[in-house]
Amino acid sequence: MRYGANVLHHPARPVTELTPDIDQLLTDMVQTMYAAPGIGLAAPQVGVPLRIFVIDLSIGRDPHGLITMINPEFVERDGMQLEEEGCLSVPGFEATVVRPQRAVVKGLDREWNPVQLEGTGLLARAFQHEMDHLDGTLFVDRLRGIKRDLIVRKIKKLAKAGKW
């Protein structure tokens, strides 16, 4: 789903139970993320308004690099980093976004076991980026002023021309 799609702009619902459909959704999300290629993907980005994300900073190169998180919540966030960021739902656009330098997230893994993970740097950025998707926020929404206006205007122009 691309910026402007309704599902991307509303908070996602918690997952209430692990079902074969949820397991298949996770498989599909991982394949979609790797095919893009991207380092993270949230369920709303594939049109499903549930609190699930997948992250793999290695983009499939490290067999232990895949993180799947169901019903994630922040435990802690601190520090600050400013880096260029893009998004599979806003293709072709990047901007510098303020994110925490460190983030701790807890939730459930693919087998419905409780997990808590700590990330710094790029992983902390990915946690915040995907959590934003679950809350109905895209990185463009975190921008202010002319940078945000330029991106939104370009997207509207592309949409009007049938290219978005």
Catalytic residues: 130
Q: How far is CA 80 from CA 100, 103, 128, 133, in A?
A: 4, 10, 12, 20
CB 43 within 8 A of CB 50: yes
Question: Which amino acid, 79?
Answer: G
Q: How far is CA 117 from CA 58, 78, 124, 129, in A?
A: 17, 14, 10, 15
Q: How far is CA 42 from CA 49, 53, 63, 153, 157, in A?
A: 9, 4, 20, 25, 26
- Both tokens assigned to 30: 């991982």
Query: Which residue from 87, 11, 110, 3 is spatially nearest to 51, judged by alpha carbons?
Result: 11
